[in-house]
């Protein structure tokens, strides 16, 4: 997304928050855009916190983002994109439903969404550890399955007669 797209998105979110705050309570007005953009917001926040806990710069790139983890688990790029788009669409529909719900439903829904995203991240960690263990097991099995290298013949001792040729002088 370029500068124009991000400025437009920010403008639309600000407008939605202002329009929503005049008609509904503030919590509801602020939760609708947050839920609609829940996946990128959660991913950015989670990455920032993860890097800060490890003592790394929060702006340093890594391969621990959700899409990288899904690729590392074994999904192809097409399935990862479709899955993330599906999750974003579900969050968008959820935001539309929240705009018409009561405050208790909103709070419960946001808590469940956050718990679901945390469970997704934990499951991805489990799948990554399982994949790494399988890769190590396969590497260990391939090391055991390779035959040992052929041992070279012992060196001949100096002064020992050379082995006789099996071909007769007339055949050569």
pLDDT digits (tens, 9 = 90+) for 120-166: 778 777 777 888 888 888 887 766 665 555 566 666 666 555 555 55
Q: Among residues 98, 114, 115, 96, which one has the least CA distance to residue 106? A: 98
pLDDT in tens, 40-51: 888 888 888 888
d(CA 51, CA 38): 20
Question: What pTM, to 2 d.p., does this model score?
Answer: 0.54
């Amino acid at each position: 997304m370029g500068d124009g797209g991000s400025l437009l998105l920010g403008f639309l979110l600000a407008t939605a928050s202002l329009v929503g705050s005049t008609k509904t309570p503030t919590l509801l007005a602020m939760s609708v855009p947050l839920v609609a953009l829940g996946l990128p917001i959660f991913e950015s926040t989670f990455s920032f916190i993860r890097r800060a806990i490890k003592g790394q710069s929060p702006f340093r790139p890594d391969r621990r983002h959700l899409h990288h983890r899904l690729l590392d688990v074994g999904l192809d790029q097409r399935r990862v994109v479709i899955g993330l788009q599906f999750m974003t669409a579900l969050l968008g529909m959820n935001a539309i439903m929240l705009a018409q719900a009561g405050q208790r439903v909103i709070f419960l829904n946001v808590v469940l969404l956050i718990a679901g995203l945390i469970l997704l991240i934990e499951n991805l960690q489990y799948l990554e550890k399982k994949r790494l263990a399988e890769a190590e097991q396969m590497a260990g099995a391939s090391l055991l399955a390779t035959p040992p290298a052929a041992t070279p013949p012992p060196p001949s001792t100096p002064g020992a007669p050379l082995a006789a040729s099996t071909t007769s002088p007339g055949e050569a």
